[in-house]
């Protein structure tokens, strides 16, 4: 399909669903279930529409980044601590900070 050709009726059908899914901040699986659609068909339509140039490919580049074990101490770490009193502490910090937080939390009564 060339860029000057308008989308077909079928392409518009899937495009409307995909745009509504994105606007509602839902996963494709949740959206499909809520609207009685076959989730595999929705995934296939998204792939096909991207390949045909009807649906833009999301910016942002690769979703995976190569890391080594040496990087682990420098990468931010999500930490969630459930205290005995029911309080929850959630934070994101580097390796040394996580160790300090866990040591401090372990000393709490």
The answer to whether residue 1 scores a pLDDT higher than 70 is no
Which pTM was predicted? 0.50
Neighbours of 54 (CB within 10 A): 20
Cross-strand pairs, 91: 79
Contact between residue 68 and residue 88 where contact means Cβ atoms under 8 Å apart: no
pLDDT for 30-81, tens place per residue? 999 999 999 999 999 998 988 888 877 666 544 555 655 555 555 566 667 7
Least confident of 2-6, 7-11, 65-69: 65-69
């Amino acid at each position: 399909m060339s860029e000057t050709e308008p989308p077909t009726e079928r392409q518009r059908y899937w495009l409307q669903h995909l745009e509504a899914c994105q606007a509602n901040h839902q996963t494709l699986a949740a959206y499909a279930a809520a609207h009685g659609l076959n989730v595999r068909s929705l995934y296939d339509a998204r792939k096909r529409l991207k390949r045909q140039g009807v649906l833009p490919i999301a910016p942002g580049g690769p979703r995976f980044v190569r890391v080594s074990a040496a990087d682990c101490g420098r990468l931010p770490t999500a930490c969630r601590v459930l205290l005995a009193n029911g309080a929850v502490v959630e934070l994101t910090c580097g390796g040394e900070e996580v160790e300090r937080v866990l040591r401090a939390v372990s000393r709490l009564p």
